[in-house]
Structure formats: C-alpha cells, structure tokens
Amino acid sequence: MPAIITHDFFGRDMYESAKELIGTQEEELRAFLLGNQGPDPLFFLVITPRARFKNALKIGSLMHRLDPAALLVALKEGLEALEDDEQGVGRAFLAGFLCHYLLDRNMHPFVYSQQYALCDAGIEGLTRKNGNDVHAEIEREFDEMILFKKTGRTVRTFKPYRDILQANDATLAALSKMVEFASIKALRVFPAPDAFAASVKNYRFAMRAFYSPAQHRANVVAFAETRILRRGGSFFKAMSHRDRAEATSAFDNREHATWENPFTHEVRTTGFWDIFDATKAQAQDALRAIMPPTFDVAAAELVTGGLDFSGRPAPLRPDALNPNAPND
C-alpha cells in the first residue's frame, strides 16, 4: 500500500478484456474492483476499537503470507455460503482477488528490491527499520504515475476514497460471508461475520484522512510523527497521494537497469510497465482457470507457483510463518 489506485486501474484494464467471465452488471463490476484490493482493506480493522474484531486483525497478514493456493480455493468454496442472488458479486470478487494476488506477487519483488537498496544505501537516519515508509513511498509514486498516465488526472480531482472501494451494503454483506468462510478454512481464524464489510468502510475513512493533494495536512502530521514521536519517517505522508502530474516515476525503471529479486536472487531488467502488462496476460489465463467447478488446490498451485503475495515461497501452515518476514 498505498497502491490502491494501481490495483484499481489494473482491475479496470482486466475488466475491459474479461467482462464476460467477470459479470456485466454494475454491482458485479464494483465487486470485481473491490476484489482487486485483495486483503488490503483488512489491515484497516485496526482503527475500529471493537473487541469483536480482535480475531480478524491478523487476517490481512496471514492472507499475504500463507499458501495462496489454499486461500483461493477456500475463497471460491465460500461462494457456497451465498444466496443465489449473491453469486454474481461473489464470483466477481473472487476474480478480482485473484488479480490482486497476481499483481502483488509479480510487482512486490521489484518494489522490495528498491526498498532494500534505499534502506541499505547508508543514507543518514534511513535503515530497514524504515522499510514500511519507504515501501509506501514507492507504491505511492506508482499510484500517482498510473493515474496521470491513464487519465491525465491527479488526486486533485480523482479522490480514492470516493472513486474507489465502491460497493453497496448488500454486496459487502455477501463478500463478508466469503471472507469469513475462507478465513476459517484456510487460516484457522474465526472472524466476526461482518469483519470484511467493516474493514472496507474503515479503508474509505482512512483514505479520506490521508487525502492531502497539496500536502498541507500530510506535512502537519509528518511533523508530529518525526519531531514529537521521533519516528525516522512519516508513514502518514507516505500514504498521502500528491497532486503530481507526471506519467513517470523515479522508481519505474523505464531505463531497464538490472535489479535482483531479493527472494529468488534472479537478476532482471524489467520495469514497472513490463511487469504490469505481463501480469495482465497471466491474469487472463488465471481467470479462465479459477472459474470452472473443477478448480482445486492442484489447479490453484499451477496459478500461484507456491509464491505468496510478496513473491516469496509461501509456508503452508499458520504456525510456519517467520514473524520477521516482510509483510505488505
């Protein structure tokens, strides 16, 4: 994260080429685009001070770091918990969730490579302890870049809290049942039935709070974070999109310099758009694979290759997690 805009526009591109698989109704499109945000809304449950959401606070992290094949199968099986008139939005959400996973898996090694390089560059006050802030800065640049390149707009007129995360309460209730089912089966976590719906509403609230195109609010909060709380950087500012009218980013690697995947140590020269476009091609095949009733763990493993949302080899069990592994 932020990456909310990047995932949304990836979903919009995919919808144009695969709408017959996804669904043609307006609420199905909204469910698909919400699915393209993947587990990310679940991280925002933390801002709701309700004890009944306590069990759900770790779901976002577990989904990012456990076996995605089992998760995808469990999420699809969650369709069985839906009423007949909820099936369309459920299938669309499943398709979007798969797209989120694929883009995360393919893009995160590229992001982490640059994150680690910056944190290890010997810049005064910057270490891997600042990794979350640096990660968010890189992905914020990608959000700003893709928004301007695709639309010629900036967050001055495009407001993520308004223009993304659109789904009505009935849709959120249906999707919450799917997420609850998948959490129980794949993660061994028993969340409140409305946890996902609450997380989406929290995400909308958070994006409104982060909204600071001229950076006035972001600068005030950043001052408090760095001067009063003595943090090495400002996570709030890193999450706050800027009014930046540029179709490129300092992190997009358009010059195709070499970089190393920090998880496989493979040397690559791909840039942001190479990865983005290649993932769209992969997603076409993956969507065709996940829709048939024959989709099972073996079929899911062919899609995931055993890699988690960060592109690392994924542990199969919740108790096999490395608590020090990067999580985004």
pTM over 0.85: yes
Residue identified by tokens 């890699």 is 307
Distance CA 47, CA 49 (A): 6
pLDDT of residue 119: 96
Distance CA 154, CA 245 (A): 6
**Average pLDDT of the chain to the nearest whole number:** 95
Distance CA 138, CA 130 (A): 13
Q: Give, in order, the Cα–Cα distances in Å from 6 to each of 40, 100, 140, 155, 290.
A: 13, 10, 9, 13, 23
Which residues, in sequence order, are CB contacts of 25 under 8 Å at separation 6+?
A: 88
Nearest Cα to Cα of residue 7 among 204, 324, 280: 280
pLDDT of residue 167: 97
pLDDT of residue 323: 45
Structure tokens at 107: 């893009």
Band of pLDDT at residue 196, cut at 50, 70 and 90: very high
pLDDT of residue 51: 87
Residue identified by tokens 């459920």 is 90
Structure tokens at 322: 């490395």
- Provide mean pLDDT across the span 69-83: 98
Summarised one tens digit per residue, pLDDT across range 38-67 is 999 999 999 987 888 999 999 999 999 999
Summarised one tens digit per residue, pLDDT across range 155-176 is 999 999 999 999 999 999 999 9
In the predicted model, is pLDDT for residue 327 greater than 80? no
Which residues, in sequence order, are CB contacts of 152 under 8 Å at separation 6+?
A: none
User: Taking the CA atoms of the chain, what radius of gyration do you get in angstroms?
Assistant: 19
In the predicted model, is pLDDT for residue 234 greater than 80? yes
Distance CA 10, CA 97 (A): 12
pLDDT of residue 284: 97
Structure tokens at 180: 């609850």
Nearest Cα to Cα of residue 109 among 313, 263, 306: 263
Which residues are bridge partners to 307 per DSSP? 313
Nearest 5°: phi and psi at 106?
A: -80, -35
Distance CA 117, CA 12 (A): 32
